[in-house]
Amino acid sequence: MLYVVGLGLGDERDITLRGLDAVKSCERIYLEAYTSILPGIDKARLEQLYGKPVHLAHRETVESESDTILDNADKVNVAFLVVGDPFGATTHTDLILRAKELQIPVEVIHNASIMNAIGCAGLQLYSFGITISMVFFTETWRPDSWYDKVKTNRTLGLHTLCLLDIKVREQSFENMARGRLVYEPPRFMTVNQAVEQLLEIEEKRGEGAYAPTTIAVGLARVGTRDQVVKAGTLQELLTADFGEPLHSLIIPAKMHELERDYVRLFAINKEAFDKYAELA
């Protein structure tokens, strides 16, 4: 059996009881290590809980060397661990399809993900539109295809969840060109960086999808005990301190009265919030 197990968002203890039973029954355990992280948790703590070694599965392992993970999985139990929920990334769907092709039984064990835990900000989940991903800009690459999705969402009265870029085991162009297997230090986009890029693209496009005075909600380490939620104008969030990763951002459309009252609990400046929330 291949078990694809969601770990949740907080720490090693957020795994479900069914998930923990499945993991403990496995001969091999792989931790997907590139689409998300458990803040402040290393694999040693997972190994202590499971009583077994955990192998890190990087992008190249999952996408190009899936045979390693699936080897003999029709005869022994193998666990593939995913931070959040197993279906939070298409890569995991691909692994399941490969297992099915090899007639390996698969069991998926779900858990909380950012896609539903984002409700902690007080915005109704069924009022969210298309989720966008914000990637780090470079000097020569500043993609803005997400802008149209934000604009469409807000036109339809739907909130936008922005998932922020994670760079793990990335190589510089120089090292790739020289064939050197040297990786850059991990980078995690902050709310501040995301807002800076949002404002840059609005200035460039000028189509009024949002403005510096648009109310937004920044979040950090959702699901952990030191979770942070702050609401304010994009201009305010540009300099707000959210601490360690992981960060997320919500650009609300016009909020229902109950949503507005709840989000106001997190306002950096309640007077400014009241003024600009009415203008959304």
CATH number at 39 reads: 3.40.1010.10
263 annotated to bind ligand: no
Q: Which two tokens stand for residue 139?
A: 């000097």
Instruction: Tell me which residue range forms the domain holding 214.
Output: 115-278
CATH number of the domain where residue 274 is located? 3.30.950.10
164 labeled part of a ligand binding site: yes
**From residue 59, how far is each of 30, 34, 36, 63, 269 by CA, in Å?**
12, 6, 11, 6, 41
Indicate whether 13 and 124 sit together in one domain.
no
* Predicted pLDDT at 56: 87
- End residue of a domain, out of 77, 112, 147: 112
Q: Are residues 206 and 150 in the same domain?
A: yes
Of 112, 143, 177, which residue constitutes the final position of a domain?
Answer: 112
Q: Is 92 annotated as a binding residue?
A: no
Residue 23's closest CA among 48, 59, 42? 48
What pLDDT is attached to residue 92?
82
Q: Are 251 and 216 in contact (CB under 8 A)?
A: yes
Q: Where are the alpha helices (DSSP H) in 15-142?
A: 17-24, 43-50, 59-64, 66-70, 90-101, 114-117
Verify that 241 and 140 share a domain, yes or no.
Answer: yes
Residues of the chain with pLDDT under 70: 40, 61, 63, 169-184, 279-280
pLDDT at site 204: 97
Handedness of CA 228, 149, 196, 159 (dihedral sign): negative
Q: Is 118 annotated as a binding residue?
A: no
Residues sharing a CB contact under 8 Å with residue 68, sequence separation 6 or more, in sequence order: 61
Convert the pLDDT of each residue in 193-237 to its tens digit: 999 999 999 999 999 999 999 999 999 999 999 999 999 999 999
- Identify the bridge partners of residue 249 per DSSP, sorted by sequence position: 162, 218
Q: Are 232 and 268 in contact (CB under 8 A)?
A: yes
104 marked as part of a ligand binding site: no
Does 114 appear as a known binding residue?
yes
Annotated binding residue at 88?
A: yes
**Residue 238, annotated ligand binder?**
no
Distances from the Cα of 270 to the Cαs of 109, 247, 265, in angstroms?
41, 22, 8
Predicted confidence at residue 183, as pLDDT, reads 61
The pLDDT of residue 185 is 75
List 248's β-bridge partners, or say none. Answer: 163, 219
Domain edge (last residue) among 97, 112, 127: 112
* Sign of the CA dihedral with 18 first, then 21, 27, and 32 last: positive
Q: Please give the tally of structural domains in the chain.
A: 2
